[in-house]
Amino acid sequence: MKAQREDMCTQLLERYNAEGETFLQRILTGDESWVLYYDSECKAQSMEYRHKTSPSPRKFKVVASARKVLITIFLDMEGVVHMEFLEKGQTVNFERYISTPRALKVRLRRVRCDKDSFLQHDNARPHTSRQTQDALLELTTLPHPAYSLDLAPSDYYLFPQLRKYLKSHHYDNDEAVIADVRRWCRGQSSEFFADGVRQLVKR
């Protein structure tokens, strides 16, 4: 496993050393993540200024909401290329995931028609099934070592930033969650997304 990771990372670094930022600009990366209707504040967010003689505030145990929405986001250095949300009652299986690369290719032709992108995503079973690979034939897939979320910009950068924003927000339905996720993504600059992809080099 370690040798495989080192070999794949070496391949990517060699491409970067040869092509520089041009190589990074062609990387298209994405993954899925759950977004909760409500997630309690983290410790840093719940801190408040108090005088040293003030009594400690009462803390109530808050259970994270069981209601949630699965989001799928693909991005490159310019921003979000494709985003979709799992409909109620569906699960991410081979059949469901096949529709994602198909929709992604349509979206790429629309918003990145002048770019030849390299797809980078992890080795989850729906991603590596024969059906999914057939659907991705028009896209060049970069090597990605198994169990390496730390090498996917969506996982080490985008989703943590999104969750930080969503912390302590309350939502009543899927539509409210989806609208806020879309609003947040639209509010990020291209430099925000570029920074996330550039961090891949050090990783």
Residue type, 126: P
Q: Does residue 48 form part of some domain? A: no
Helix intervals (H) in 41-189 = 43-46, 94-111, 125-128, 130-135, 153, 159-166, 174-186
Which residues is 119 bridged to in the sheet?
28, 141
Closest of 70, 71, 80 to residue 194, by C-alpha: 80
Query: CATH number of the domain that 28 lies in?
Result: 3.30.420.10
Domains: count for the chain: 1
Q: How far is CA 141 from the centre of its chain?
A: 17
Identify the pLDDT of residue 83: 95
Residues with Cβ within 8 Å of 182's Cβ and at least 6 positions away in sequence, in order, are 83
Q: Does residue 54 form part of some domain? A: no
Tokens 């003689």 correspond to 53
Q: Does residue 28 form part of some domain? A: yes
Identify the pLDDT of residue 54: 56
Q: 178-187: per-residue pLDDT in tens?
A: 999 999 999 9
Using alpha carbons, list the distances in angstroms from residue 59 to 38, 47, 51. Answer: 17, 11, 18
What average pLDDT score do residues 30-56 get? 65
Q: Does residue 57 form part of some domain? A: no
Confidence of residue 86 (pLDDT cuts 50, 70, 90): confident
Res 77 pLDDT > 60: yes
Cα gap 123→66, rounded to integer Å: 27
Q: Does residue 138 form part of some domain? A: yes
Element (H, E) at 39: none
Q: Does residue 9 form part of some domain? A: yes
Confidence of residue 16 (pLDDT cuts 50, 70, 90): very high
Q: Does residue 17 form part of some domain? A: yes
What average pLDDT score do residues 5-25 get? 94
Phi, psi (degrees; rounded to nearest 5) at 70: -90, 125
Structural domain for 74, as ranges: 2-40+64-202
What average pLDDT score do residues 125-129 get? 51
Cα gap 18→33, rounded to integer Å: 33
Q: Does residue 70 form part of some domain? A: yes
**Model's pTM, two decimal places?**
0.77
